[in-house]
Structure 1
């Protein structure tokens, strides 16, 4: 049984996209350029079956000094809940980025290639009176200089539990 599970896991991993798949694509995504200034996002959270659980809007403001940036996010959910997250970002060599926030349990780490970014992190998510540590496999795709699509798969113990999708655009874009 363990061999079967390992074989299936390897098969699924071999079918997934790699950041290098986007190496020769344009326009080039640089977080310090895109997430600089005022942005707005619209998104939804879906369960593992695809049912929409929540919809939301996010007002964002990004500011960079050299290779360090701060991205402030104010979430407004369709049920009236609000949430604030402040990301502290760092740009490294070769398109690498890292990020932390108060509710990020395992810091974000990833890389850009062409118009795509893939990074992974663990987020503390409150749900039904408990806090769950969910792993995020986060992909961003730059459509043009003012618009980006963000798709993040959420998992727990290696099992997919849902997805978050966002449309992000620069204000005035």
Structure 2
């Protein structure tokens, strides 16, 4: 009887998860929106950002700021990110980004274990990747479903859902501004 109840619960959870995933937005939902988000134009020059990391219940775990510098040559770009967390920890990530086709991008960095792949449509970018994240002396491979929305020429709002084994473990929210 216990095994039967456990299997029924497991099947119900899988069906609910699939139903929730089907409600997710798709990049094509933004095809007719403006301004058109082009990474090689937006992430070119100096930018600054402020953000937070939340656990799966929404509790803020950390806050941070980021100084960014982007540069592009043709279809290849570099985005240098220098993070400063509210507890004083500093972290650096250097992305190598390539525009592979109209609106399609790939990206890698030293702590990215599965390269980012994604696409822009209208004012939105969605890309997915796996990041090596240190957690209590261990390194977890966390999957990111990263959405960026260009609000205007200077501002982008970034939200990323973090999952492990298909379950949400947290979210990152980031406000990015171009410096003039």
TM-score range with shorter-chain normalisation?
A: over 0.9
Q: How many residues align?
A: 172
The whole-number CA distance in structure 2 between the counterparts of 1:40 and 1:7 is: 41
Alignment of 1:83-94 (within 5 A): 83-94=91-102
| TM-score between the two structures when normalised by the length of structure 2 | 0.93
Deviation at 1:14, TM superposition (A): 1.2
RMSD over aligned CA atoms reads 0.9
Structure with the greater alpha carbon radius of gyration:
2
Partner of 1:157: 165
Q: Deviations over 1:6-50 (max 9, x none)?
A: 422321111100000000000000000000000000000000011
The whole-number CA distance in structure 2 between the counterparts of 1:33 and 1:123 is: 25
Partner of 2:19: 11
Partner of 2:5: none
The whole-number CA distance in structure 1 between the counterparts of 2:109 and 2:157 is: 21
Secondary structure of 2:110's aligned partner:
coil
Partner of 1:78: 86
Partner of 2:74: 66
The whole-number CA distance in structure 1 between the counterparts of 2:159 and 2:14 is: 26
1:166 to 152, 174, 179: 174
1:125 to 119, 129, 133: 133
Deviation at 1:3, TM superposition (A): 4.2
Where structure 1 has 5 or more consecutive residues not aligned to the other structure, the ranges are none
Secondary structure of 1:144's aligned partner:
coil
The whole-number CA distance in structure 1 between the counterparts of 2:110 and 2:151 is: 29
Where structure 2 has 5 or more consecutive residues not aligned to the other structure, the ranges are 1-7
Secondary structure of 1:27's aligned partner:
coil
Deviation at 1:92, TM superposition (A): 1.4
| TM-score between the two structures when normalised by the length of structure 1 | 0.97
The whole-number CA distance in structure 2 between the counterparts of 1:151 and 1:28 is: 18
